[in-house]
Amino acid sequence: MPGSGKTTLAYKVYNDKSVCSHFDLRAWCTVDQEYDEKNLLVKLFNQVTGSDLKFSEDIDVADKLRRQLFGKRYLIVWDTTVWDDLTGPFPEVEKGSRILLTTRQMEVALHGKRNTDPLKLRLLKLEESWELLEKRAFGNESCPDELLEVGKEIAQNCKGLPLVVDLIAGVIAGDNPTCQLHDLVHDFCLIKAREEKLFGEISSSDASSSSDLMPRIVNIVYNKEQFELNNFVLFSSKKKRHSGKHLYSLLITREEMEDRLSDACHLRDLRFLRALMLDPSFIIVKDSLLNEICTLNHLTFLRIGKEVKSLPSSFSNLWNLETLWVKNEGSTLVLLPNICDLVKLRVLNVTACSFFDMDTDEPILIAEDSKLENLR
């Protein structure tokens, strides 16, 4: 069961003072489903020797590791489902050495066992979940009476998983601004992303696609051999393509294109678009396309390249915009007072910009009460 504390328990054993003093050598190995056997053996060798060596293809790293371990008492923590492929280098000598294997699959644990049966970690009982949650969230203090009912409900919803209890308690305590992504959370995100069709790519060679099967995040990639201008008009073409009705993120880029794409894209139908990135090396946004972008008032992220003197007044329609990157080409971009209407703006990165209109030789006046409070 993911999140039950297997790796955490192994980590505590691995770093215990008595364990550290008992074994001559220790190493920790985490193996993904896709792995390179030699690279893993090199990492293990460097851990047990305290070095940072690299080996050529003709070097037998497994043999070197076996020689390094021979005659010594070692502890290897094996956080993986792989076993047979990588246990060859470890000498089978009765020196009290140990390999500690963590895995979600009981059949792997049974297959890899030697002298001891696998330890299957049980889930926490409700009382244990609440005790851990209270201690982690409130420290030495007791939970306030007014929070007892909701606190125990939270503990029950953690389903006995220590990882979930610990993460939620950390959020309550306010000491988890960031945390490492556990594989349980990672797997859950991937499953939900596939269900919601959040990943996908459309290439210029795609003939047609059913709109109900299309992803909500689209990366459109063009290459030199397959490029056709009318393929870029994805949302007004007579061919059945992505309707864009529920598209949330759009990235348009290129692969080794020598010429930039002309201003021929229609984005006005992408009403729910929240992130838009148009590769400045591929497409330069001009007035017509910029006016369409200004109708996408759900945008929170925008990155474009452009060849205009200033942002249009309609740019203030993007009131949800939090990040704005503009690579200006040809002339200095004049930032008009309407930039201050973007009250949620946190990141502003504009090349060659000015609050001074060089054509009129006058500064741009901004109201005294206008300010971007969220700008970093």
Give residue-wise pLDDT tens across range 6-53: 888 888 888 899 988 888 888 887 766 556 677 778 888 888 888 887
Count of alpha carbons within 13 Å of 15, Cβ hemisphere only?
A: 5
- The model scores a pTM over 0.85: no
Strands 356-357 and 362-363: antiparallel
CB 374 within 8 A of CB 343: yes
CB 2 within 8 A of CB 119: no
> Mean pLDDT in the chain?
70
- In whole angstroms, give the CA distance from residue 54 to residue 156: 49
Average pLDDT over residues 45-69: 81
Which tokens belong to 363? 């500064």
In this prediction, residue 263 carries a pLDDT of 40
CB 322 within 8 A of CB 347: yes
Angle at CA 327, nearest 5°, toward 323 and 332?
115
Higher pLDDT, 53 or 225: 53
Give residue-wise pLDDT tens across range 332-366: 777 777 777 888 888 888 877 776 554 555 554 44
Average pLDDT over residues 241-260: 51
Give residue-wise pLDDT tens across range 105-153: 777 677 666 667 888 888 889 999 999 999 888 888 888 888 888 888 8
For residue 362, the cross-strand partners are: 357
In this prediction, residue 125 carries a pLDDT of 92
In this prediction, residue 128 carries a pLDDT of 92
Average pLDDT over residues 200-216: 42
For residue 336, which of 318, 355, 362, 309 has the smallest C-alpha distance? 355
In terms of average pLDDT, the best of 38-42, 149-153, 197-201, 220-224 is 149-153
Give residue-wise pLDDT tens across range 258-279: 343 344 445 666 777 788 887 7
- pLDDT of residue 291 exceeding 60, the answer is yes
- pLDDT of residue 231 exceeding 50, the answer is no
Give residue-wise pLDDT tens across range 298-342: 888 888 887 667 778 888 888 888 888 888 776 777 777 777 788
